[in-house]
Amino acid sequence: MSIIASYSHFVYQKLHHRDEHYISSFVSAKDSPFWRKSCFGNILIENRNREERKIRRRNFRVESMWPDLSRPSTVEMEVLNDSEQLDQILVHAQQNSEPVIIDWMAAWCRKCIYLKPKLEKLAAEFDTKTKFYYVDVNKVPQSLVKRGNISKMPTIQLWKDGEMKAEVIGGHKAWLVIEEVREMIQKYI
């Protein structure tokens, strides 16, 4: 699949040219059995339109199978290690007027581990609009955890203009948490 995906434009081009050739040869064959007059117009034109629709549908299916390689499918979240780094990130985000998402997690938390790759996919959706970070609460100073006012994990917070604006505490299904985080981001972008 990776070999075909890297040359997908060639495959599409081959199919497209082959189908165009087929249509032109089909249309130019006036002596074919499809070229008959009827009270509803030329049968050839009806058949040609039907063939073109089939080809368009097939091309659409081929194009929809190839991923959009211009955008990443996941974006790896960066690690936050201390309060100074958080301050720098918040100042930079405030200058660019963009929100920051922080995932407060622990290495022993199963829901946190399960949620992280889904958040990385969400980060790819909002790649240019917001930055995603994560904090392992067992590896950072407790002053950072207190600053985030974390009581449960996983907690996903949105920070904008140097302060925390919204949060989602992820104790329920992962797809619901991701939808809540998506709505939270869209509200503050």
- CATH of span 78-188: 3.40.30.10
Tell me the pLDDT of the chain (189 aa) as tens digits: 444 444 445 444 554 455 555 445 544 444 444 444 445 444 455 566 777 776 666 665 555 556 667 778 899 999 999 999 999 999 999 999 999 999 999 999 999 999 999 999 999 999 889 999 999 999 999 999 999 999 999 999 999 999 999 999 988 899 999 999 999 999 998
Judge whether 39 counts as a catalytic residue: no
Which residues, 6 or more positions from 126, have their beta carbon under 8 angstroms from its beta carbon? Answer: 185, 189
Given the residues 105, 112, 115, 184, select the one marked as catalytic.
112
pLDDT tens-digit map of 128-147: 899 999 999 999 999 999 99
Which residues, 6 or more positions from 184, have their beta carbon under 8 angstroms from its beta carbon? Answer: 156, 158, 166, 168
CA 23 remoteness from chain centre = 36
Given the residues 109, 119, 137, 184, select the one marked as catalytic.
109
CA distances from 83 to 38, 99, 131, 141, 152 (A): 81, 18, 17, 8, 19
